[in-house]
Structure 1
Amino acid sequence: MNYLIAVLRDRIEAEQAYTSLEKEGLPMAQVTILGRGYQSADEFGLIDPNLQAKQQIQRMAYWLIPFGFAAGYAFNWQTGIDVFPWAGSLGNHIIGGVFGAIAAAMGSFFVGGGVGLGLGSGDALPYRNRLNQGQYLIVVKGSEALTRQATRILRPFAPENLQGYFQAENV
């Protein structure tokens, strides 16, 4: 499936572009306007990368923290390292487990998407930001020929951004 996303400055421009697409005979079921008064990013299915990163971190932490505790406990038990002599043998094993759990939590954060959460990633975030600024998106989804035709029609409107995407179908 091919997608074409055009970023337009205001509602009037977006409606004019939509009308031009309609006049050229594009199937309007495959054309969507996103912005105030139309579909929102969530309704359209434009993923929120921050939400996705948080969910991935939580899923990884659910499994990694218990395994990290067990690995830290086992490592301390095997090596016999006395991190805190006053804690005794069992206490040091538990402290090793806690250190392992902390390392696992850090791993789930960094590998699960915490860096993207902090710095932002993907194309969905800039599009969401533009919608929040009051701009409008026109999304055309369909065949390559359809998106090429839509590109030709939308170019005269001088969109701020005109980007095409290809998404492989899940089989």
Structure 2
Amino acid sequence: MNYLIAVLPDRIQAEEAYSALEREGLPMEKVSILGKGYKTADEYGLIDPKQQAQKQATLMSYWLVPFGFISGFVFNSLTGIELFNWAGSLGNHVIGGVFGAIAGAMGSYFIGGGAGLAFGSGDALPYRNRLKEGKYLVVVNGSPNITNQATRILKQFDPENIQGYVDPTA
């Protein structure tokens, strides 16, 4: 499945572009307008960068927290550091493991979440920002011949940006 996204400065141009696509016989169930008064980014399915960051942090925590616990436990065992006198040898190893697990959780939150926020959204964040600025997106999805035809039509409206994408999951 291919996608074509054109950024238009106002509602009038977005509606004119939509009408031009309709006149040329494109299947209108494949065409959407995103912006004020039309579909939102969430309704259309643009990735929310915050949600992607949270997902990435959670995935990283599945292996970083246990790894951190084991590393903290082993480090305390090898160094023999006594964190608390009252805990005894095994207790200090377990406390070292807990500190290691906490470090693993922090790593998954800051690194996993930060990477998910920076890289997980792809181009969705710039498109969301354009929608917040009051611009409109005309999105066409379908086979390559549909998106190629839509590209020719939409270029007539001098969009601020026009970009094609290929869905890797399709």
1:102 aligned partner: 102
Counterpart AA for 2:80 = I
Give the superposition deviation at 1:68: 2.0
What are the equivalent positions in structure 2 for 1:20-169 lying under 5 Å apart? Answer: 20-77=20-77, 79-82=78-81, 84=83, 86=85, 88-117=88-117, 121-169=121-169
Give the superposition deviation at 1:163: 0.2
CA distance in 1, matches of 2:9, 2:83: 63
1:117–1:27 CA distance, 2 compared to 1 (3 A): same
- Kindly report structure 1 stretches of 4+ aligned residues shifted beyond 3 Å: 83-88, 118-121
Give the superposition deviation at 1:64: 3.1
Deviation track 1:76-95 (CA, whole Å, cap 9, x = no partner) reads 22x14215474653453234
Identity of aligned residues (%): 64
* Contact 1:54 1:114 (C-alpha < 8 Å) held by counterparts: no
CA distance in 2, matches of 1:57, 1:120: 11
Counterpart AA for 1:11 = R
CA distance in 1, matches of 2:63, 2:120: 25
CA distance in 2, matches of 1:118, 1:162: 22
TM-score with structure 1 length normalisation?
Answer: 0.86
CA distance in 1, matches of 2:57, 2:116: 11
- Greater CA drift, 115-124 or 25-34: 115-124
- Greater CA drift, 115-124 or 89-98: 115-124
- Greater CA drift, 119-128 or 40-49: 119-128
Aligned length: 169
